[in-house]
Chains A and B, each alone.
Chain A
Amino acid sequence: RKEVEQDPGPFNVPEGATVAFNCTYSNSASQSFFWYRQDCRKEPKLLMSVYSSGNEDGRFTAQLNRASQYISLLIRDSKLSDSATYLCVVNIRSSYKLIFGSGTRLLVRP
């Protein structure tokens, strides 16, 4: 079983739609959580950290459920520019390494 699992998609949605991505992680010692965005043939870029209380940044909302070892990302009012691959990332306590999921691809159509 992969340490971080994501639905690969693609999610094909119209502009203005709300879309949600889910991610599960297997190591209960995971202590930090992030969502990264990666455009085609570009490097990953940090989108947002994920906190236990949930957090919001504009149209983006991240949630963490430690009991279920589950992370989500909600994008409201999708824009064409949101088309990218979204990577779920966890950091394991004591090892400091970041473990990436394989990513979920989002396509926003006009």
Chain B
Amino acid sequence: ETGVTQSPTHLIKTRGQQVTLRCSSQSGHNTVSWYQQALGQGPQFIFQYYREEENGRGNFPPRFSGLQFPNYSSELNVNALELDDSALYLCASSFSPGQGEDFGPGTRLTVT
């Protein structure tokens, strides 16, 4: 059973709004990554945090931002939501960057 938890499970937002998704990593995992997964696709890397600093970023606009906290929790913030932001957002953690990651159950975001 995964030690990574995410909240909320599901969320419905309106175009233009802002959203904050939360993740609690496994204890001791210093690295957290966020992914966006559209239906029928593999997860797409958004960004990674290592020891509370951004460690890498994928091809996502600046309205996607994040934070990592000392207690192994993290946030993904998305501003000015667009319809195409509707997807499953996955949080994953590992002991250090580059290792296999443990995923949380995801937050399914629907933008209307």
Contacts and interface: CB of A to CB of B under 8 A. Distances in A.
Contacts of B44: 100
Contacts of B103: 43-45
Interface stretch (A12-20, A62-70, A71-79, A90-98): A90-98
Contacts of B90: 43-44
Majority SS at the chain A contact face = strand
A62 to B, nearest CB: 12
A100 B100 CA distance: 12
Interface residues of B, number: 27
Given A34-B100, A44-B90, A100 B33 contact: no
Interface residues of A, number: 21
Interface string B16-57: 000000000000000101010000111111001010000110
A101 B42 contact: yes
Interface string A98-110: 1111110000000
Nearest to B96: A96
**Shortest 6 CB-CB distances between A and B: which pairs?**
A100-B42, A96-B97, A43-B103, A97-B45, A46-B100, A96-B98
